[in-house]
Amino acid sequence: MKSAMHLVSQTLLMGPGPSNVSEGVMRALGRPTIGHLDPRFIAVMDEVTSMLRTLFGTENELTIPLSGTGSAGMEACFVNLIEPGDRVLILQNGVFGVRMADVAARLGAEVDVVEFEWGRPVTVARAEEALFGADYRLVGIVHAETSTGVKNPVQEIGNLVRETGALYLVDTVTSLGGIPVDVDQWAADAVYSGTQKCLSCPPGLAPAAFSARAQAVLRHRSSKVPNWYLDLSLLSSYWEGAKRAYHHTAPINMVYALHAALSGLLEEGVEEVHARHCDAHNYLSDQLEKLNLDLFVEPGARLPMLNAVAIPSGVDDAAVRSRLLSDFGIEIGAGLGPLAGKIWRIGLMGHTARRANVDRLIAALGKLL
């Protein structure tokens, strides 16, 4: 019987993730698998955590890649830092803010949500009003909302959260590696990301960082962390210290891949990588204008790595995306929630963020439209 694998071919990934993976990262995936407690692998682990601290802009000791996708990173933050009855505030303006609220509610938290219009950033004034209206254990926000292409003012919100004493949780799944992430400057107590977006690594790991204050909250919980696999008090003994304690079999080859991706990014230079994302975004914006296509988000709030494009009236959303994939080998994303059928989500993430890829997409859209 012919396997479905024969249908898999190279695709230009210009959707909301995953992004295309470099040859160096693919080669790293193919290196020999060794034991997860092998001293050689532990040396790789230590280098990965050091590089992640640099990219996150943090000195937090507990900075590790969790085994799982970005959603596992989100869940890890909540299961470790909140308990039933804790009051949580989520500043929500897209799918992933909705997911934050859902995860917190499933853990028995009392969740307050301040909703903002999808496609518009969180406003500091409304956030401030909510923050000082109750005593919160944790406040959560998404830095780069993948569902809309909006960047939220996490620095300004962090300044306010610091005054309240609440823990500050920031989703950096789409932002890490694409725009500046400054965990310590934001006074963020917990951040999580994913490997498959601007890091240009296959999906499967969730880089995360936790402040000393977050770790203190974890140590003084009144109840055991309800998820064994994501319990940071257990995971930290595997990722830190001179003597590593077995917790689970880490995805060795995925850690190799992350090592290669981070090494490549730091070798290019963090500021240079950010500039490359901005250049690709600006070039895309100019080329879309020539096709009479408009970006959905206002200029000041746009993400360079995730571009929401308004679909012209009368254009069949699904048909265009289908033909881009089948005829041109290019994948872009659909709108979600209230933006379904109204926007295309065009990703310029990591290795994909290059003018040549923009040219290829624009040429294909020109033919289809």
Q: What is the pLDDT of residue 190?
A: 98
Q: What is the pLDDT of residue 4?
A: 84
DSSP state for residue 220 in the 8-state scheme:
T
Q: What is the CATH number of domain 23-266?
A: 3.40.640.10
pLDDT in tens, 72-114: 999 999 999 999 999 999 999 999 999 999 999 999 999 999 9
Q: What is the pLDDT of residue 243?
A: 87
Q: Are 236 and 62 contacting, i.e. CB atoms less than 8 angstroms apart?
A: yes
Mean pLDDT within 313-333: 97
Q: Are 11 and 330 contacting, i.e. CB atoms less than 8 angstroms apart?
A: yes
Mean pLDDT within 228-235: 97
pLDDT in tens, 20-33: 999 999 999 999 99
Question: Amino acid identity, residue 369?
Answer: L
Binned at pLDDT 50, 70 and 90, residue 1 comes out as: low
Q: What is the pLDDT of residue 9?
A: 78
Mean pLDDT within 262-289: 98
Percent of the chain with pLDDT over 70: 100
- Distance of alpha carbon 118 from alpha carbon 98, whole angstroms: 11
- Distance of alpha carbon 119 from alpha carbon 297, whole angstroms: 6
Closest to 349 measured CA to CA, from 272, 283, 273: 273
CATH 3.90.1150.10 residue ranges for the chain: 4-18+269-368
pLDDT in tens, 239-265: 998 889 999 999 999 999 999 999 999
pLDDT in tens, 147-162: 999 999 999 999 999 9
pTM score of the predicted model: 0.97
The average confidence (pLDDT) of the chain is 97
Mean pLDDT within 195-211: 98
CB count within 10 Å of CB 269 equals 11
> Hey, what are 37's tokens?
């407690």
Percent of the chain with pLDDT over 90: 96
Mean pLDDT within 61-68: 98
- The radius of gyration computed from the CA coordinates of the chain, to the nearest angstrom, equals 21
CATH 3.40.640.10 residue ranges for the chain: 23-266
- Distance of alpha carbon 146 from alpha carbon 35, whole angstroms: 36
Beta-carbon contacts of 289 under 8 Å, excluding residues fewer than 6 positions away, are: none
Closest to 19 measured CA to CA, from 348, 334, 257: 348
Q: Are 103 and 88 contacting, i.e. CB atoms less than 8 angstroms apart?
A: no
Whether residue 210 is predicted with pLDDT greater than 90 in this model: the reply is: yes
Q: What is the pLDDT of residue 157?
A: 98
Whether residue 175 is predicted with pLDDT greater than 90 in this model: the reply is: yes
Whether residue 201 is predicted with pLDDT greater than 90 in this model: the reply is: yes
What pairs with residue 88 in β-bridges?
A: 111, 138
Q: What is the pLDDT of residue 79?
A: 98
Question: Amino acid identity, residue 45?
Answer: M
Mean pLDDT within 107-131: 98
How far does the chain reach from its first CA to its final CA, in angstroms? 39
Largest Cα–Cα distance of the chain, in whole Å? 64
Using CA atoms, how far residue 174 sits from 3, 208, 224, 274, 306, in Å, is 33, 13, 31, 13, 8
Architecture, CATH, for domain 4-18+269-368: Alpha-Beta Complex (3.90)
Question: Amino acid identity, residue 50?
Answer: S
